[in-house]
């Protein structure tokens, strides 16, 4: 259920249209508190532009502890940095301008989806004492730049999401020079650096406020815009964020920088699988061999390793059997080279979504299914799935 809080009659009608016919409109925050306390199925509170900001933030701050599955959306006449910062600290999931009705509609859809995911993970209504099942975390790594980590990460995440059949979060852990936002043509309101100010009260609601949606089933947590922000983010915070994301999503895919930083090691510690990339050239294979030896020294289990050979059909005089013999590990997947890949990056759409029948797409999809084995698809209700798909296509067309 969606509760709309707004005293002005004209704004009530506009917000009700965005929230849907099943929403309930109340004139003030006191009425909203009563409705929330009386009904446990409230998923979203949509707070209108004529509601006092301080009271709205107080409601959100209270709900993040009392009802973590409930999402608060704040609609404001104007949005400035101070409002965004205060809203983030209070656990508000989305802040939207008053006249942006399409933005309100999209925010409602995303928040309902996330609230359902949090409610499901929490096992609401279940009397079972079993622990919450964690999603699978896959870290994509190469010690050499230019191997295609971001390309593989974005396409792997999109393939796992499979048009909304699974919930996937893609994390850009290249804190200084991350490219996920650029590769997907995203314009995030928040990044990983915003988690620092909330480190003392970080929970699923707070992390949810940092996320940027891309397409049905695929959500992102992008790297800071300023390279210097990397120094302000402790590795322990990264581990905590990843653990929270595993509680919220079926899969978490982590893109990394080409170095064994403390942040990368924190991701390795949380990983179910580590996808290790290389290309068919001597420097890349040398770095991969050193990576494997380093992981051995750090006691990361070998059964978590998955070696990925990118641009595997390059005619450079190296044979695949010789590569496997040198590395002493099997190659899990061979991704062919193609000019369609950089073209898809320039369009801001993963090739698995842009050209699903392409050989590169097929190779990545088959690789994704090896991780998805045993994880059931959890499709959204048909109405929401259609709305989300429509939003995703509109977002891409507006930026093309």
Q: Residue 129's pLDDT is what?
A: 44
Are the beta carbons of 230 and 264 closer than 8 angstroms?
A: no
Torsion, CA 90, CA 22, CA 24, CA 106, rounded to 10: 30
Residue numbers of the chain with a pLDDT score lower than 70: 21, 117-132, 314-317, 374, 376-400
The CATH H-level (homologous superfamily) assignment of domain 2-122 is Response regulator (3.40.50.2300)
Q: Residue 317's pLDDT is what?
A: 60
Same fold, 2-122 and 136-394: yes
Pairing of strands 218-221, 212-215: antiparallel
Q: Residue 151's pLDDT is what?
A: 95
Q: Which residues of 71-88 are buried (b: 16+ CB within 10 A; e: fewer)?
A: bbbbbbeebeeebbebbb
Q: State the DSSP code for 21.
A: T
Q: Residue 396's pLDDT is what?
A: 36
* All structural domains of the chain with their residue ranges: 2-122, 136-394
Q: Which CATH number fits domain 136-394: 3.30.70.980, 3.40.50.1010, 3.40.50.300, 3.40.50.970?
A: 3.40.50.300
Q: State the DSSP code for 87.
A: H
Whole-structure pTM value: 0.70
Q: Residue 352's pLDDT is what?
A: 94
258: closest CA among 177, 157, 330? 177
Are the beta carbons of 35 and 42 closer than 8 angstroms?
A: yes
Q: Residue 298's pLDDT is what?
A: 87
């Amino acid at each position: 259920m969606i509760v709309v809080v707004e005293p002005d009659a004209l704004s009530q009608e506009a917000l009700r249209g965005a929230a849907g016919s099943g929403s309930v409109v109340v004139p003030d925050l006191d009425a909203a508190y009563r409705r929330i306390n009386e009904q446990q199925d409230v998923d979203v509170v949509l707070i209108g532009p004529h509601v006092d900001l301080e009271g709205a933030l107080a409601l959100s701050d209270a709900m993040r502890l009392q009802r973590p599955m409930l999402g608060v959306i704040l609609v404001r006449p104007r949005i400035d940095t101070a409002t965004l910062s205060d809203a983030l600290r209070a656990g508000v999931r989305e802040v939207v301008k008053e006249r942006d009705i399409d933005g309100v509609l999209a925010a409602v859809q995303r928040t309902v989806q996330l609230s359902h995911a949090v409610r499901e993970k929490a096992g609401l209504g279940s009397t079972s004492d079993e622990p919450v099942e964690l999603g699978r975390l896959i870290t994509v790594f190469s010690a050499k730049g230019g191997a295609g980590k971001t390309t593989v990460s974005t396409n792997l995440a999109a393939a796992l999401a499979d048009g909304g059949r699974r919930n996937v979060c893609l994390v850009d852990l290249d804190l200084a020079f991350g490219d996920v936002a650029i590769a997907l043509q995203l314009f995030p309101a928040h990044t990983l650096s915003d988690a620092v100010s909330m480190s003392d009260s970080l929970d699923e609601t707070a992390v949810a406020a940092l996320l940027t949606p891309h397409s049905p089933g695929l959500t992102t947590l992008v790297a800071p815009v300023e390279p210097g922000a990397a120094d302000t983010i402790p590795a322990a915070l990264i581990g905590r964020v990843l653990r929270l994301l595993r509680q919220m999503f079926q899969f978490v895919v982590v893109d990394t920088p080409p170095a064994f930083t403390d942040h990368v090691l924190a991701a390795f510690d949380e990983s179910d699988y580590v996808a290790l990339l290389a290309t068919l050239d001597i420097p890349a294979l040398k770095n991969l061999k050193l990576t494997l030896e380093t992981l051995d020294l750090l006691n990361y289990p070998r059964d978590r390793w998955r070696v990925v050979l990118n641009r595997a059909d390059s005619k450079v005089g190296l044979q695949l059997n010789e590569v496997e013999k040198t590395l002493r590990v099997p190659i899990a997947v061979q991704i062919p080279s193609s000019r369609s890949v950089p073209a898809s990056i320039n369009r801001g759409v993963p090739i698995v979504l842009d050209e699903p029948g392409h050989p590169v797409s097929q190779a990545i999809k088959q690789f994704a299914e090896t991780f998805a084995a045993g994880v059931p698809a959890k499709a959204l209700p048909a109405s929401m799935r259609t709305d989300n798909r429509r939003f995703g296509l509109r977002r891409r067309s507006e930026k093309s």
